[in-house]
Amino acid sequence: MTRRALLPLAFVCLLAQPSSAQERTVLIRNGRVLDGAGNPWIVADVLLRGDRIAAVGRLGPVPADEVVDATGLYVAPGFIDTHSHAGAALAGAALSHGRPLLAQGLTTVFANPDGGGPVDLAAQRADFERNRLGPNVGDPHGPGR
Amino acid sequence: MAKVKDTATYTDPHQLAEGMVWVFVNGQAAIRGGAFTDAMSGRVLRKER
């Protein structure tokens, strides 16, 4: 009897676990949305679920954990700096917050340009992860090594 | 859009850019209503496996 009773319950838990219960949602409402592909802006809403963009469009009354009124604001994908000299600073505890980058709308930077940066990328990555990061960081090896 | 601007100058370089009202990194607000949150939600990017 216990087996029959428990199995459906486990199934329901598994089904219920993704998205709604676990992942936080943010609805950015009524912004001038630029899609990053060079198109003109459109008035739309953007729904974030967890770390993903879940939907873009006129979404209507979608339930969300937080609603941001973006009326009159431009909404763009996070900017990416593919040639950033901020790697050494971001790897240190004092500046890993990346505030100067975030203030420019940069959410991702690629460090170690111009053949610069450390040879030991594992150590650099460990520094990033120990101090935690404001923006995302890609840390490829620079050229010429 | 005119509110987005750099404020640093050659003689006074340590100044933050202005104009970002909200900035989200991996779904978490790093700037909320114009103020830093220090959410530290950035990640080291890795090659997809």
Q: How far is A136 from chain B (nearest CA, A)?
A: 4
Residue partners of A35: CB distance under 8 A and separation at least 6: A56, A77
Query: Which of A112, A54, A26, A86 lies closest to B23, judged by CA?
Result: A26
Share above pLDDT 70 across residues of chain A, in percent, rounded to a whole number: 83
Domain boundary among A45, A60, A75: A75
A83 and A134 fall within a common domain: yes
Whole-prediction pTM: 0.85
What chain A residue is nearest to B43 in terms of C-alpha separation?
A136
Q: Domain of A39?
A: 23-75
A40 and A91 fall within a common domain: no
| Identity of the residue in B21, B31, B43 whose CB atom sits nearest the CB atom of A136 | B43
Give residue-wise pLDDT tens across range B8-38.
999 999 999 999 999 999 999 999 999 999 9
pLDDT of residue A20 exceeding 90, the answer is: no
With respect to residue A111, please indicate whether it lies within any of the assigned structural domains: yes
A101 and A134 fall within a common domain: yes
Domain boundary among A50, A75, A100: A75
Residues of A in contact with B23 (CB under 8 A): 78, 102, 105, 107
With respect to residue A51, please indicate whether it lies within any of the assigned structural domains: yes
With respect to residue A94, please indicate whether it lies within any of the assigned structural domains: yes
pLDDT for residue A21: 58
What average pLDDT does range A32-57 have in this prediction? 96
Buried/exposed A24-63: b ≥16 CB within 10 Å, e otherwise: ebbbbbbbbbeeeeeeeeeebbbbbbeeeebeeeebeeee
A87 and A132 fall within a common domain: yes
pLDDT of residue A145 exceeding 60, the answer is: no
